[in-house]
């Protein structure tokens, strides 16, 4: 049985690479869920339904953040570049270019 997250034969990939693939797929799924909730909430007229969706959206933010942190801990170069971009004011693209060029 094949899985979409693998672009190489799964039995040739290390356990660590397969875990990263699963977490990257989960991160993508959480981003999709965030997108769905944002869209649903933008058109939902019922306040109670909107509040429930907003609560669910918070859960998706939490899951996305935990998966991202896991991946950043496992992939030091990604973490180094992310630290050069995230939570900084100013030019996002400029920070990205600098972080990428300075990454080890």
Give 22-38 pLDDT, tens digit per residue: 999 999 999 999 999 99
In a domain? residue 4: no
In a domain? residue 35: yes
Confidence of residue 1 (pLDDT cuts 50, 70, 90): very low
Confidence of residue 3 (pLDDT cuts 50, 70, 90): low
In a domain? residue 1: no
pLDDT (tens digit per residue) in 40-98: 999 999 999 999 999 999 999 999 999 999 999 999 999 999 999 999 999 999 999 99
User: How much is the average pLDDT of 15-28?
Assistant: 95
In a domain? residue 64: yes
In a domain? residue 9: no
Buried b (16+ CB within 10 A) or exposed e, 55-81: ebbeebeebbeebbeebbeeeeeebeb
- Give the C-alpha separation, 6 to 87, whole Å: 32
Is the pLDDT assigned to residue 4 strictly greater than 80? no
Reported pTM = 0.88
Asked if residues 25 and 64 have their Cβ atoms less than 8 Å apart, the reply is no
The domain total for the chain is 1
- Give the C-alpha separation, 26 to 64, whole Å: 8
In a domain? residue 54: yes
Residues 6+ apart with CB under 8 A from 6: 13, 18, 21
101: exposed, middle or buried (C-beta count within 10 Å: 0-12, 13-18, 19+)? exposed
């Amino acid at each position: 049985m094949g899985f979409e997250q693998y672009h190489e034969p799964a039995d040739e990939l290390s356990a660590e690479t397969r875990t990263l693939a699963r977490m990257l797929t989960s991160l993508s799924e959480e981003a999709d869920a965030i997108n769905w909730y944002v869209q649903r909430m933008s058109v939902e007229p019922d306040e109670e339904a909107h509040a429930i969706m907003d609560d669910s959206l918070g859960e998706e933010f939490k899951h996305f953040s935990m998966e991202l942190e896991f991946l950043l801990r496992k992939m030091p170069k990604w973490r180094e570049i992310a630290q050069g971009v995230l939570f900084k004011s100013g030019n996002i693209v400029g920070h990205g270019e600098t972080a990428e060029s300075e990454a080890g």
